[in-house]
Structure 1
C-alpha cells in the first residue's frame, strides 16, 4: 500500500495541501502547529518563502503534488516514508510527543506575551489549538506531560511556567471529574494566567535579590493588568479572566489583589492558585533554585491551612505524587531507578524503571517495577548530575 505521506520542498506547496511536518528545528520556521491545511494567502506565501526546506504532505487529507502546478525549477520529489524513529516504549513515545508539544506551546506563549506587550490582539486560536494538543497527551499519559513541563531553567521560566500551569490545570481538572470543553477552558486559563506580567520590567522580574516595597507593589499589579488585557479578548472566556485576576488569592483572605476568601473564590481560581505555586517553587528562578517536588508538596501541605482549598490540594497531591515522574530514587535493594508513573496504592510506592546497581553502577536490563507489589522501597531521592544521568533520555527510551 502506498503511503499518503510525501516529501516535497517548500516552493512546491500549493493551497489545498495538508502539511504533516516541516523538516528541521521547529524554531527555524514560524509555524507553531505540527500539521495543518494550507490556505491561500499569508500562510502559503510564508511556506513558499522557506525555499528548499523539506515539507511532508499528507495526500489523504489534502491535494497531491500532481493536483497543483509544478515549477520547472522545483527540486525533484522524494516519494518515500520518513525514516522510522528509534524503537521506544509506549511511555517513551508519549514522553517524546510531550516534549515536542512543550516546545510548540512555549513558542505560542512567547508570541502571546509579545502581542500583549505591544498592545495587539492575542492569537487566541493558536492558544486554543496548543491547549488541545496538551490535552490529548494528558488524556494518553498525564505523567509524561507533567514531567516534561517541570523541566525548565531560569532563562525560559516565564513562558514554560505558563505552559506548565496549563498542563497542571487540565490534569487537575480531569482528576476533579471535568471533561470536554471545561478542560480546554482550564488549559487556556493556565496558559494566560500570568499575561499581566508584561506590565513588569525585566529588571524587576529577573532581580536576584529582595524586591523593594515599590517593586513588590508593581509585581502585585500583574493580576489586574492581566484581567485588563484579557477583558479585551472575547475568546479568552470567563475562566481565563478569573484565574488571571485571582490566582494569588488565598482561602483565608490574605492574598491579592482583592483579599478574597471562602465562597468568594471560585473553584477554578483555587485550582489556579495551587498549580501556580507548585510550578513556581519547583522551578529554577533567578533568585533561588527550585525545590524537589517532594519538598514542594511537603511545604505546601504545611501552608494549606489558609492558603489552599484543602479538598483540591489533596486531589493535586494524588495527581503529582510524593515522587513525581522523572524523580531519580535509590531503592533499599541498592538500585537506582527513575519514577515512571504513580501506582494505584500508596503515594510512597510509584511504578519505577530500574537503571543500575550501586555502588558499582552495573547497568540493569530495562525492567518496570511496581513498588506496591514489591518488597523493595524508596530510601532516598538522588541527584541525576551526581550519577551523570540524563533523566529525560531515560524516560524517552
Structure 2
C-alpha cells in the first residue's frame, strides 16, 4: 500500500517511492528506506511537503502518525448481516488465541507475535468492512473472563478509533496487536487481588499498578513488535498531568497512541461487568471520561472517540419512548441519535416481547429515552444478539 505521509511525520524505516513539493510529485531514482536522521533533514530542507511511502516495504517500528493525519469520511463496504458472521468467527478465534497466550505467560513461556499479527489482520479487515458487526458481537461480556475480553475489546475499539482517524491498514494492525497484548503484565499479578470481589486496599491497588512495570520485560522480549504496539501497552495508564503510571509522563511526553489507549482502556473498563461491580451505561462512562479532561485525558481526542462509537454505541442497551428496550443493532452515521434498534423487551410490562427491528431514522415518532447498563432491570440480551 502506497500512501502519502506529511513531511513532519517521516521517520527512519519508511520506504520512500516518491516525493512531492508545491509544484507536484517527483520521481525518486532509487526508492528505498530512510536510514538516518540526516536523510530526513535533507528531505525537509528541500521544500518537500509530502513523502509517498510504500508501507508494505517499510519498517514501522518508529512510525507514529500525527494527530493531523485524519480522514473522517468513512463508508461501510459490507452489509451488517454479512459481516456479522465473520465477526462471530473472529471473536471466537481471538478468545482462543488470547486464552492460549495468557496460559503460556502463566507458564513462563515467551509470546509468539506471528499468530497475534495474523489475527490482527482479520480484525482490521472486519472493522474496515463494517465496524458495527464486531462491536455488536464483542458486547457480550462475562465477569469471569474479564482480562481476556478486556484485551479483545481494547483491540477492537482502538482499531475502530484509528479507522475513524484515517489511519491506514498497517497502522491499524499495530494498534490491534498492541490492544491484544496491552495487559500482559496482569498475568504476573496475584489472582486473589486481581479478581477480588470488593474494594481494594491502598496496598492492593499499588500491587495492581505493578502490572505496568511487569509488562515492560514481557513486551521487550517479543521480537518483531513495533514501537506503536509497545506504546499501547506501556502508555495506557499515563495521564496528561503526570498523575498516571508507571512513569508519570506529562503532556507531549505521551504520544497520540498513548492518549488513544488511555481513553479506550478506561471506557471499556467502565462499561464491562466485573466481579466487584456492575457495568456502567456508555452515557455514564462518557460522563466520567469527560470529567477527566483536560487534566488527565485529551479532550479533543475524547470528542472524536465519542463521535466514533456513537452516543449510543452498537451493542449497547437502550429504552425507547414507547417503553420498549433493545440492542443498538446498527449505527446511523448521518445521525448519531437515530440508530437501528433491535427491540425485544417491554420496560412497562417487564417481559420479553416479539423481536422488532426499528430504524429510528424512519420512525420519527420514536426517540431513545435513555441508555441502559448491560445488567439493567435483569434484562438478558444474549439470545437476541
TM range (shorter): 0.7 to 0.9
Post-superposition offset of 1:158:
0.7
Q: Distance in 1 between matches of 2:367 and 2:202?
A: 47
Indicate which of 217, 239, 259 corresponds to 1:250: 239
Indicate which of 261, 275, 289 corresponds to 2:250: 261
Residue pair 1:357, 1:364 contacting (<8 A) in 2 also:
no
Report the count of equivalent residues.
307
Indicate which of 226, 236, 249 corresponds to 2:225: 236
Residue pair 2:209, 2:245 contacting (<8 A) in 1 also:
yes
What's 1:3 paired with? Answer: none
What's 2:168 paired with? Answer: 179
Change over 3 Å in CA distance of 1:273–1:383 after alignment to 2 = closer
For the pair shown, the structure with the greater C-alpha radius of gyration is 1
Structure 1: unaligned runs, 5 residues or longer: 1-88
Q: Distance in 1 between matches of 2:156 and 2:315?
A: 16
Q: Distance in 1 between matches of 2:154 and 2:227?
A: 17
Instruction: Show CA shifts across 1:271-304 (max 9, x none).
Output: 1111111111111112211111221112211222
- Alignment partner of 2:328: what SS? strand
Q: Distance in 2 between matches of 1:358 and 1:257?
A: 45
Post-superposition offset of 1:193:
0.5
What's 2:262 paired with? Answer: 273
Residue pair 2:360, 2:366 contacting (<8 A) in 1 also:
no
Deviates more, 1:347-356 or 1:232-241: 347-356
- Alignment partner of 1:121: what SS? coil
Deviates more, 1:167-176 or 1:120-129: 120-129
Post-superposition offset of 1:100:
2.5
Q: Distance in 2 between matches of 1:366 and 1:338?
A: 11
Indicate which of 128, 133, 142 corresponds to 2:122: 133
What's 1:284 paired with? Answer: 273
What's 1:294 paired with? Answer: 283
Q: Distance in 2 between matches of 1:315 and 1:198?
A: 32
Residue pair 1:150, 1:279 contacting (<8 A) in 2 also:
no
Post-superposition offset of 1:96:
3.6
Indicate which of 151, 161, 166 corresponds to 2:150: 161
Q: Distance in 1 between matches of 2:217 and 2:184?
A: 10
What's 1:143 paired with? Answer: 132
Deviates more, 1:280-289 or 1:369-378: 369-378
Change over 3 Å in CA distance of 1:194–1:374 after alignment to 2 = same
Q: Is 1:102 equivalent to 2:91 in the alignment?
A: yes
Residue pair 1:164, 1:279 contacting (<8 A) in 2 also:
yes
Residue pair 2:135, 2:315 contacting (<8 A) in 1 also:
no
Q: Distance in 1 between matches of 2:369 and 2:321?
A: 6
Post-superposition offset of 1:316:
0.9
- Alignment partner of 2:369: what SS? strand
Poorly superposed stretches of 4+, deviation over 6 Å: 383-389
What's 1:111 paired with? Answer: 100
Change over 3 Å in CA distance of 1:309–1:93 after alignment to 2 = same
Structure 2: unaligned runs, 5 residues or longer: 1-77
What's 1:192 paired with? Answer: 181
Post-superposition offset of 1:344:
2.9
Residue pair 2:164, 2:308 contacting (<8 A) in 1 also:
yes
Change over 3 Å in CA distance of 1:357–1:152 after alignment to 2 = closer
What's 1:377 paired with? Answer: 367
Change over 3 Å in CA distance of 1:351–1:260 after alignment to 2 = same
TM-score by length of 1: 0.70
Change over 3 Å in CA distance of 1:336–1:224 after alignment to 2 = closer
TM-score by length of 2: 0.72
Q: Distance in 2 between matches of 1:378 and 1:218?
A: 42
Instruction: Show CA shifts across 1:309-351 (max 9, x none).
Output: 1122111101222211133333224444432222234433323
Change over 3 Å in CA distance of 1:208–1:363 after alignment to 2 = closer
Change over 3 Å in CA distance of 1:183–1:228 after alignment to 2 = same
Change over 3 Å in CA distance of 1:305–1:104 after alignment to 2 = same
What's 1:314 paired with? Answer: 303
Residue pair 1:350, 1:372 contacting (<8 A) in 2 also:
no
Q: Distance in 2 between matches of 1:215 and 1:369?
A: 47
What's 1:25 paired with? Answer: none
What's 1:204 paired with? Answer: 193
